[in-house]
Chains A and B, each alone.
Chain A
Amino acid sequence: MASANSDEPSPAASTVNDDGRSEAEIEARMLELLHQFPKGISNKILDTDMPTVNKQIKVNILNELMSKGKVSMFKAAGTQELFWCLKSHPTSRIKGADNEERVVLGLIEEAGNKGIWTKDIRIKSSLSQATLNKVLKALEGKKVIKFVSSVSAPKIKLYMLFNLQPDRSITGRLWYNNENNEFESELVDLLNHQCFEMLQQQKEIAQQKQNEGPVTVRNSSFLSSKEICQVSSDMKLVKFNLTVEDIETILDALVFEGKVEKSTASDGNCNEKVKMYRSVAQPVPFASITKTPCGVCPVINKCGKVGAIQPKMCKYFNEWE
């Protein structure tokens, strides 16, 4: 910082200003002001604080701060006045990053959860395709950004910061692991089991109301998808929020296993239809032939009177308890 002082071109004697502060001190003061006003400082504030400092010096210092990535410049919407404010994530943590990379990174950061498409980056940063590609490769190599594929358009690449979770609208649903796009079967199984337990408990509670008649028993064994979602979220089984739609997909999977029945009912308060679920027993508990070895035999089609597979020497019968 001290050397910068001597290297600065000094337009006349006003570099050393009236209250005797050096460039570095002015910079430090500016940074203090920026911290004080996190929403941004305008020219006016700078003037009131340091009236004696030359405008040119202020501009120079601000420019330098901007190029170091500590400060960014905005234009106020109404008055078209210029503001400067401190950057929350200083991109200067990347050592030796050049301007292009910083610009691109800035844009990607802005996009946040949603990610940004390469074409958008190109438009906003007005870099050429080749340069952009080089920059993106470099940043990826440094593990600062990553790309994800969106469900809506599987061919396009979206870029976002490395440690951010992609938003729901991109991955479509939360069942996919965002690292290698694998289906999260364990999560599904866990939630599946949990929802079924809940419905079973509700059914048992309902059974205790036997004396009030079967209609009451049946109606009180229903749980709406909203209630199930509420309870699941309270239990904090997963890190992120569960929406009603997610729970409904899990409950539909239970319907397809025959354990749960679905029906729609109108909510008491508003007029919309609410999906209700309850645990039911199948009319026939199980197909009796599945209790015999032949019912689940993998080679039943090859079993016959001659050949290696005969009921006379069937080893499944031998092992049957």
Chain B
Amino acid sequence: MSSYVLSPFNQTCYQLINKYFGEIVGEVAKFLLRRRYGTLFNIKTGTGMSLWDVKRALAVLIHQNLVEFQANEQNPNIVDYSIIYHNAHCLLRYAKYLYTIKRIFGSSEEVLIEILLKIGQASASDLIFQSANKLNEAIDDVKVINPSDLYQSFQRLATENFIIRCPKIVKSNAFVEKVPKLLEFEDEEKFIVPQLEMEPIAKLLREKATQIGEHSDSEIIWRVNHQRFDVELRNVILVNAAARRVDEKAGHLYHLILKLWREANPAEARASKGVSHILIKDAVRKNDGRSPMLMEHFDQYLRVLCEDSTGLISRTGDSRGGQFAVNYADVFENLACAILDSVVLERFGTKALRIFKLTRMQKFIDQDHMQKLAMVSPKDAKTLSYKLMENNFLKIKELKKGTSNVGPVKSFNLFHVNLPEVVRGVLHSSYKCLSNAMERQTHDLTINKRLLERHADFEKTLEQLRGEDAPDNAIAEFSQSMTVADKELVAKILKLSDNLTLAQSQADETILILESYLKFHSMPMPMFYSMP
């Protein structure tokens, strides 16, 4: 086993994989995270594990959509394996995915997604079969779940693009290739659900079979579409921002408009195409039941959202009542700035926030002006600006003044903020925050494993006693078998563990916004806004 330190992002991915799939898979993943590409032999020597172990680990990872393979450039007979970094990070968000699905659809879709996340890749029939089994176990009903309902749920998920088809293997009849090639589908075909007969599945369910066996669509494999879930999580943030800036109804309106934009542009771009006023009004009218006041003041809400400085909507044209689009780069820049401001405020104080924000707004500013505009004393201004510089929030640019060659050269020292760099810095510390929380959690739970197991047994026996209606003094006697100090310690450990889980999801929220900013910022600018 080699010991080296991974960057915080890689560290979090490794910890997640380790947590969900075990040590062997974790080691292989660690090697690939660091090395980016690896052949089978590399991985074997790098991790020091047996070939059999490495093969099984890789199989698991590929099936879970965490690793992909391709033929090596130099030698097409050898396979290069590489980690899909984004999917590894998304392991953290699985709980959020389930919650999102439940919120939008319902519990049957939630079960489908849960099973699919657990398996990784599955065909439609297999998925429906297993979900039906799970629902049966949960409900404990005599009646068997009707798989046609699940089939409809499956179709709904596919139309909304939450699940996507995996690329298929190209079968070439000319010669058998050593490394199978995968062919991605066209955009339209990615979400088409094959026609399925539910009768065979229903029959199997009645027979209480555990496996589906042979079925017609075993070649058509589906997986969870992480991009779509990302878009959904991002939309939640944007809707919340709209609600905070104006009010709740503006949030509803923005939610509807986001849906329209998604329908208009399937691909992710820096700025969306325009959607006309008429379309938006129609959508609001259809949705009128939820917020009647929205219809009444529809124009006003639209106007207020447009004029808001966060850039949630921008008017791009006047045809058909007005064209409204969003520039994701701008919106996320404002959101990222809000995040950075909050970080500066919490770490360094109000005065430092004033200095940071004013430097960012003024682009370049020197020490004197900064002190005057920020209304801080000169000494404070100096200490805080140097502290911010130390932590890479501010930078100095030197401009020489005067051309006299005699005497010391005087120069302007201007402060400025390099936004992408600062965002990357905070992103780095967010990943570190995340990995620290996970590390502490696993450490705590392993160190106190015996104590926690004892406590779990104790609780179970207590429940049993209560259930059996044992006499009170027996219960009291038993409950004293665990000391008060022990109980307190267990309570403390569990509380910290909960807090750490919460911390992980909080760090993930910040990471989502900052990553979105960097992603949209680096996308190329659109050549022109196209006409509808």
Contacts and interface: CB of A to CB of B under 8 A. Distances in A.
B436 A257 contact: no
Nearest to A304: B5
A214 B250 contact: yes
Q: Summarize A's interface: helix, strand, loop or mixed.
A: helix
Interface in B444-500: 496, 499-500
A290 B443 CA distance: 23
A284 B339 contact: yes
A210 interface: yes
A296 interface: yes
Contacts of A289: 343, 429-430, 433, 506-507, 510
Q: Interface residues of B toward A: which range?
A: 35 or more
A294 B432 contact: yes
Given A256-B354, A284-B342, A288-B510, A305 B5 contact: yes
Interface stretch (B71-79, B92-100, B298-306): B298-306
A283 B335 contact: yes
B374 interface: yes
A311 B338 contact: no
B13 interface: no
Contacts of B55: none
A213 interface: yes
B429 A300 contact: yes
B432 A300 contact: yes
B360 to A, nearest CB: 9
A303 interface: yes
Nearest to B435: A311
A252 interface: yes
Contacts of A261: 309
A13 B430 CA distance: 106
Interface string B311-353: 0000000000000000000000011001111110011001001
A320 B376 CA distance: 32
Report which residue of A253, A280, A300, A311 has the largest number of chain B beta carbons within 10 angstroms of its beta carbon.
Answer: A311
Interface string A282-297: 1111111111101110
A250 B376 CA distance: 11
B338 A183 contact: no
Contact of A284 (B237, B246, B249): B237
A253 B310 contact: no
Interface string B422-442: 000010011011001101100
Interface string A266-288: 00000000000000111111111
A65 interface: no
A320 B513 CA distance: 25
B301 A317 contact: no
Nearest to B346: A290
B503 interface: yes
B357 A258 contact: yes
Q: Summarize B's interface: helix, strand, loop or mixed.
A: helix
A320 B341 CA distance: 23
Contact of B374 (A213, A256, A285): A256
A205 interface: no
Interface residues of A, number: 47
Report which residue of A216, A294, A303 has the largest number of chain B beta carbons within 10 angstroms of its beta carbon.
Answer: A294
A281 B301 CA distance: 17
Contacts of B338: 258, 282-284, 287
A239 to B, nearest CB: 19
B251 to A, nearest CB: 12
Contacts of A215: 297, 300, 303-304
Contacts of A185: 376-377, 380
Report which residue of B247, B355, B375 has the largest number of chain A beta carbons within 10 angstroms of its beta carbon.
Answer: B375
B335 A284 contact: yes
Interface in A189-237: 192, 210-211, 213-218
Nearest to A249: B375
Contacts of A294: 429, 432-433, 436-437, 503, 507
A213 B347 CA distance: 39
A311 B436 contact: yes
Contacts of A210: 247
Contacts of A249: 373, 375
A279 to B, nearest CB: 12
A133 B419 CA distance: 56
A256 B341 CA distance: 10
Contact of B376 (A183, A280, A300, A312): A183
A256 B361 contact: yes
B241 interface: yes
Nearest to A191: B375
B429 A256 contact: no
Contacts of B510: 287-289
A256 B373 contact: yes
A314 interface: yes
A282 B341 contact: yes
B346 A292 contact: no
Given A283-B244, A287-B343, A256 B509 contact: no
A84 B309 CA distance: 68
A216 to B, nearest CB: 8
A188 B301 CA distance: 37
B518 interface: no
A182 interface: yes
Contacts of A303: 432, 436
B354 A253 contact: yes
A285 B244 contact: yes
Nearest to B508: A288
15 contacts: A183-B378, A185-B380, A192-B375, A218-B304, A256-B354, A257-B353, A282-B341, A283-B244, A287-B426, A287-B510, A289-B430, A292-B506, A294-B432, A294-B433, A311-B440
Given A215-B300, A295-B343, A317-B440, 17 more contacts: A188-B375, A214-B297, A215-B304, A253-B375, A256-B357, A256-B374, A257-B354, A258-B338, A284-B513, A287-B346, A287-B426, A287-B510, A290-B342, A290-B347, A291-B506, A295-B346, A311-B436
6 interchain residue pairs of minimum CB distance: A183-B377, A288-B506, A283-B241, A294-B433, A311-B436, A290-B346
